[in-house]
Amino acid sequence: MRQRNFFVAVTGITVDLGMAPLDLDRLAALVPGAGAELPRRIGAADVAAIEQATAALRQLDFSRGGGLTRDAAVAQLRSVLALRNVACTPQVKADLLVATADLGLLAAWMSYDCELHADARRLWVLALELARQAEHPAAVDLTVHLLLDMTTQALHLRRPEEARRLIQLGYDSVASGAHPISACTASGLSIWQAKCDATRGDVTACDRALSRAVELLAAAEPTAAGPWNAYIGPTQRAAQQGGIYFTLAMASGKPQHAARAVPLLQEAVRDYGPGYARSRAICLPGLAGARAIAGDLDAAVHLGGQAVTEITALASRRALEGLRTLDTVLRRHTAEAPVAELREQIRGALTTTRA
């Protein structure tokens, strides 16, 4: 999906511009997979089964990376999309569309994790359209979460202006939405606003957005958030906040920001359990890089070695970007033999994985 067409579609779906509904049949045709015999009617139990399958796939994504089950998620999405024209009550139809949009969100995220960026964007647009057509109380919350995922990708692709526009679309969706979003999702808006500010080196704006995010998360009720927010909690927010301070340190070159990142990233690395192995692994290069900027090269080398080991054990090409960033941080210290050895390990890991 071309960048301009992608953003026009996203804007038209999330903000009321009088745009006609997108053709879901055409969008669904972009999702690979084979057809299957459909039931005559579906009910609440069928939607619950779809939600359970999505939750299981989501947990596998967190623990091993999108490459392990991405194809399974896409195949499941194709099957579930076919159900939208099966007979059911209006309430089941609304619940089905939201459940399908959430599955589309997950398939898009897995595609992004595999660095299949065009596929991810097609799937995100499909999920946005499903959420819009759902007319469900959770649809706005899900829409904003979709936009946050897209923001993550835009920053990964070094498109900060696109990321800021997506964040603004998130705020516009909240303002025009028929239902409020959860405090958890609102916290995410502030987190990614802070990340955008950090890429510009704007410390004041970044700190302001982070303070708002922390306040919102403290007020969040886990039961009020959708399943797409199930992983959000103190550990995830510590990881995100630490990553933001590391971004500030990279943008400014100032050790004090790295010093702020270290305890937060240490907390995340310590507290992520086996079910969040990818999240823990992604934190390690940032923690190593923050240690290096703060002047502790011994710790940086030790943590960097852990990062290489844990990231290369995953099915996540996206996680490799952390190793590239760490290699950039360590470049100025290559005269130190342990650093030079670690950089060689990193380059070997990147070359092997790419092959």
User: What is d(CA 287, CA 303) in angstroms, rounded to the nearest whole number?
Assistant: 7
User: What is d(CA 64, CA 53) in angstroms, rounded to the nearest whole number?
Assistant: 17
Cβ-based neighbour number of residue 32 at 10 Å: 11
As a whole number, mean pLDDT of residues 311-326 equals 96
Burial class (CB in 10 A: 0-12, 13-18, 19+), 20: exposed
Spans of all domains in the chain? 1-136, 156-231, 233-355
Higher pLDDT: 236 or 19? It is: 236
As a whole number, mean pLDDT of residues 205-216 equals 95
pLDDT at 32 exceeding the cut of 80: no
Q: Count the helices and strands in the chain (H runs, E runs).
A: 16, 0
Q: How confident is the model at residue 200 (pLDDT cuts 50, 70, 90)?
A: very high
Q: Express each pLDDT in 176-187 by its tens digit.
A: 988 999 999 999
pLDDT-above-70 percentage for the chain: 89
Could you give the angle at which helices 320-330 and 277-294 cross, rounded to 10 degrees? 10
DSSP secondary structure letter of residue 87: B
Partners of residue 41 on adjacent β-strands: 87
User: What is d(CA 234, CA 18) in angstroms, rounded to the nearest whole number?
Assistant: 40
Do 174 and 168 touch, CB atoms closer than 8 A? no
For residue 217, what pLDDT is reported? 87
User: What is d(CA 285, CA 265) in angstroms, rounded to the nearest whole number?
Assistant: 10
Start-to-end CA distance of the chain, whole Å, equals: 26
For residue 253, what pLDDT is reported? 82
- Global pTM reads 0.88
pLDDT at 77 exceeding the cut of 90: yes
Domain 233-355 in CATH 1.25.40.10: yes
User: What is d(CA 192, CA 210) in angstroms, rounded to the nearest whole number?
Assistant: 9
Cβ-based neighbour number of residue 89 at 10 Å: 12
